[in-house]
Amino acid sequence: MNMVTKTCCLLVTLAFMGWSHLAQASTDSSLQANPEERGSSQSAAKSAQTDTQQADSEDSSRSDDPKAKASRLANEGLEFYGNSQYVEAVKAFEEAHKLFPHYSILFNLAKAYEKAAEYQKAADAFRGYLELHEKMVGEAPGDVKDVESTIALMKEKAYISLPEINISSDPEGANVFIDDSDQMVGQTPVSIHLAEGNHSVRLEKAGFHTLSQGFTVRSRAPLSMTFSMERIRKEGILHVKSNIRNARIYVDGKVVAVTPFYEPLVVEAGTHQIIIEKEKYTQFQQTIEVTPEGEYAVDANLYLRKKPFSWRGGLGITSLILGGGAAGAGIWMRSEAAKKFTDSDDFKTYRMWAYVGYGVGAGLAVLGTSLLIWEGARSAVRPEDRVSDSNRRPVLVGGYDGETAWIGATGTF
């Protein structure tokens, strides 16, 4: 039994209720009464026939009678439906049902909704028809199975008619959840249909950070979204810095880079041994416990094992020799002064130069000793091996305070 046939069947029911003009007004040649439905509907119609005919006779003179208005509107709805004016038919049936609620009007309204492509409203109206029929008649209509199938079809059409949302991700295979629901709608790439309005999407994939984002669906506007998912790092990052160039960087015994190395060095989480070495230089070693997504700084300073003798050492030795000579001269002057009378000018002269020799000798001895200590303690790096510190390069700066403009350079030296 098709749904158009059921429409006429209910119209026949209305005829039994005293609304014979509704059935007579139908001009759609496809609207035909069905004997099975007629039989199931007559019992309900007969029970109400006497009352409705009596009410019609009493209220026939009243133009504002709700039932009379509903009858006229339902008749107009049928005419609109027959002329394929489904939007107008919907309005007429809606007003009629407001004035005089009846399951037959709901059925016709559902058919008009269906023709007007308002599938969700059609499904709701068909459901209302079943409920109101059982409430008014006391039992389900004879076409209940067909109507239930039609409701399912209307819901499917309503879903398909919604805007299509295409969701993809890099990488693919992420679980997709919509509007904070725990019910997964599929895995990327996936296509779904959503009602217009604001929504949210959540993507989950093992080994990647969960991604959530809101979006807006507009009526009859398809939407495509592609998301790039960030992998959960199980590695850490090392930032290696050295004071010399061309030194080899070892991680767990393997050469991974050569200084200067400015890129982050990615290593697996765990314990690692870092070695940095170069011929003729001391070796740097450090053990690091790396955690997932952790970042660590490795500052390695290497120095020459055998330092060349610098000016500090030469000057220090020279100062000690000269200091020793000055002290010796002071001692000789003191011995000569002892040979003279204490109140003589020669005594005073020898004694003065003795003190000068002592002072100069002591000063040069202190200077020489300091220079030799400096020479021994210094860490030597050949100039050609030294890595310049980028922070020491001057940086141009400037500004304007509304009255005065200025420019200059700043840096650490």
CATH of 3-161, one of 1.25.40, 1.10.357, 3.10.620, 1.10.3470: 1.25.40
Q: Does residue 151 or residue 39 have the better pLDDT?
A: 151
Homologous superfamily assigned to 164-228 = Immunoglobulins (2.60.40.10)
Q: Kindly indicate the confidence band of residue 33, based on its pLDDT and cuts at 50, 70 and 90.
A: very low
Q: What pLDDT, on the 0 to 100 scale, is given for residue 344?
A: 83
The span from the CA of 133 to the CA of 54, in Å, is 22
Roughly what angle, to the nearest 10 degrees, separates helices 3-16 and 103-115? 150
Q: Tell me: the pLDDT tens digits for 305-358?
A: 876 667 777 787 888 898 888 888 888 888 888 887 778 888 888 888 888 888
pTM for this predicted structure? 0.38
Over range 277-304, report the average pLDDT.
Answer: 90
The mean-pLDDT minimum among 23-37, 94-108, 337-351 falls in 23-37
Over range 219-242, report the average pLDDT.
Answer: 88
